[in-house]
Amino acid sequence: MKVAIIGQGYVGLTISAFAGEHFDVIGFDNNKRIVDQLNSGKSHIEGVESSVLKQWISAGRYQATTDGRDIANVDLVVIAVPTPLSKDRKPDLGFIDAACKTIGENVSKPVLVINESTSFPGTLRNYIKPAIEKYSKDKIEHLYAISPERVDPGRSDFNQKNTPRLYSGLTPEASEKTRAFYSKFCDNLIEVSSPEVAESAKLFENTFRQVNIALVNEFAQIAHSLGISVYETLDAANTKPYGFMKFTPSAGVGGHCIPVDPTYLAAVAEEHGAPATFIRRANEVNLEMSKYVVDRVVADNDGSLAGKSVLVVGVAYKPNVADVRETAAELVIEHLRQRGAVVSWHDDVVGSWNGESSAPLSGADIAVVVTKHDDVKVREILDSAPYVFDTTGKVPGAKGL
């Protein structure tokens, strides 16, 4: 069976690597640089080994392409393209639309189309299917299913094989074929009654994390005002063996999922006249954390950062990945610069970002730790500046949340 995977980023390349063991995979991406790199056997995604890619390439089971015509004769298509927010923080299905165009214009026979991109309930039925039909000259009738992706890049204990996967087709035949596809490389498949349930479950999973992170971020501020340790209090609460799940405070949330997916849920809720006040407020609390962190740093430094050199340690949105999408470090840096600080950042995993490069971990007046990668030593952080503010809870000896 020939499979086309539209989008070769975190999700699409991860699926390609697993699917390559069983199927001929065509990785379609409109970024030529990524495609060339992949065809030379080099992975750009943590968790996808270049050796695996090379193995599939030399076995003739993997090829990346920017040419839509290469997917003409596939049997199955997976959509794994970005679903970001627009400038005015509304769901932006522009990438999905472009993927539908590629499929509609090129796929020459009826196939199964599975969407793995995260979006609001109704996207498969009311958006993807009509869009592909609109772009298909021959009005080919495909099968459609959703199977939201749950991959957590950088994580080694859960992967495609042992992470349970939800799925649902628009028709029983689509569901059956979707199950047959994923069962080759996923141990636990759970069918739900409609694509809308699967789409909503994905959004709710990340909204659950978003509101709990907001709650603990608010609590960190309460604990500080009470003069108690937020971490000790959370550890104490966590001794309860049921009904409690520990989340930890931070400078805010980042990545493609937690700052974005809840807004997709809120947008569709409001469109249907349902309130999403809690979700909206959680988003604000998380966004405001960067300002709170900088306020604390200012308060500890005689009320002014003007002219002081501030090193932000860790700009990736989470440890051990190079992903800077929606990173809280961006807002922290913005607030520091607004207060007159001379800001540089250290993150050798990210390397370069926003036209700037990772600075040495030394010689600053102030260091603010936003993300701590495992290979960055606590001692080096503490030695990098006379005053260190830690937002991660992983730098004992520093000031912090």
* Strand, helix or coil for residue 276: coil
Smallest distance, ligand NAD to C-beta of residue 189, A: 17
* Number of residue whose CB is nearest ligand NAD: 9
Distance (Å, whole) CA 393 – CA 397: 10
DSSP one-letter code for 90: -
Active site residue 257: yes
Is residue 345 within 8 A of residue 356, CB to CB? The reply is yes
Q: Which is nearer to ligand NAD, 201 or 382 (CB)?
A: 201
Tell me the closest approach of the beta carbon of residue 264 to ligand NAD, in angstroms: 9
CB of 27 to ligand NAD, least distance (A): 9
Annotate 334-384 with DSSP letters as a single string.
HHHHHTT-EEEEE-TTT-EETTEEPPPS---SEEEES---TTS-HHHHHHT
CA dihedral 137, 140, 145, 151 (to 10 degrees): -50
DSSP reduced 3-state for 166:
strand
Q: Residue 380 and residue 284: Cα distance in Å, rounded?
A: 33
Residue 373 CB, nearest approach to ligand NAD (Å): 17
Contact criterion met (CB below 8 Å) for 30 and 94 = no
The nearer residue to ligand NAD, 211 or 260, going by C-beta atoms, is 260
CB of 4 to ligand NAD, least distance (A): 10
The residues pairing with 189 across neighbouring beta strands, listed in sequence order, are: 165
Q: Do residues 253 and 259 touch, judged by C-beta distance below 8 A?
A: yes
Q: Which of 257, 260, 321, 388 is catalytic?
A: 257
- Give the tokens for residue 291: 């300002």
Tell me how far, at minimum, the Cβ of 139 lies from ligand NAD, in Å: 22
Binding site for ligand NAD (CB under 6 A): 6-12, 28-31, 34, 80-83, 95, 98-99, 102, 116-118, 149-151, 153, 256-257
Neighbours of 287 (CB within 10 A): 15
The answer to whether 347 and 316 have CB atoms below 8 angstroms apart is yes
Residue 176 to residues 61, 166, 167, 306, Cα–Cα distance (Å): 24, 13, 10, 63
Helices (H), 272-318: 277-300
- Residues annotated as part of the active site: 257
